[in-house]
Amino acid sequence: MKIGVVGCAGRMGRNLIQQVVAAKGAGAELAAVCDRPGYASVGQDAGALAGLESLGIKVSEQASAVFAASDVVIDFTTPEATERHLMLAVDYKKALVVGTTGLAAAFSARLEEAGCQIPIVAAPNMSLGVNLLLGLVEKVAKALDESFDIEVLEMHHRHKVDAPSGTALALGRAAARGRGVELSETAVRSRDGITGARRAGDIGFATLRGGSVVGDHTVIFAADDERIEFTHKAGNRSIFARGAVRAALWCARRPPGLYGMADVLGL
């Protein structure tokens, strides 16, 4: 399975190259990679860029070249770049794996429309542990009434540009589904000053940034005299890259549709 990587010079991009190469035994083959025009990475060997032996694959500045050479392309870039890559995937009729966070809500409609033509796996977090956590949060939220307040706490490295994280919002949506409500109507994403008492049924978010934290997420169900907490801590970005490569191998063999990691993992 020929796999391409766009945005290959970032932290996730280099991890993706490593994991595609590591998955050779599972049928993965790195086909092409690219980065933004003018970046220092352009023209370098993809293997050297990722700390591996030479792979004989040069970093291109043309995303179209990656789609032309690949069966499936993995995208952990920016919302603006992902929109362009989605159009390329449709034009070239190639499968796409999207792990980009910070995507606008309206982009979901474009993903669904594109899913009528090509297979797409889109998920804010591709680790097995987080996807198990999403299922647990939904089940617990369904089992508990509004006497249990729900709060989502997340922490990431100082360089992360979006907040709350895509995973935190996904956890909030899982809790809202369990409660049978819309997250847009119940989410409280900031508190400052005299806010008044907490409103029953709200789903709160708290965001921390600092250091090199890869990603910590905790969902708290707090009632009088007792509290239930579910926590996932990512120690290395390779867990997301491994999940993305697994999704790519799964996705490229599927009919057109918009899929999630629950589909990939059979959850």
Q: Which residues are catalytic?
A: 156, 160
Which residues partner with 205 through β-bridges? Answer: 152
Secondary structure of the chain in the HEC alphabet?
CEEEEECCCCHHHHHHHHHHHHHHHHCCEEEEEECCCCCCCCCCEHHHHCCCCCCCCEEECCHHHHHHHCCEEEECCCHHHHHHHHHHHHHHCCEEEECCCCCCCCHHHHHHHHCCCCEEEECCCCCHHHHHHHHHHHHHHHHCCCCCEEEEEEEECCCCCCCCCHHHHHHHHHHHHHHCCCHHHHEECCCCCCCCCCCCCCEEEEEEECCCCCEEEEEEEEECCEEEEEEEEECCCHHHHHHHHHHHHHHCCCCCEEECHHHHHCC
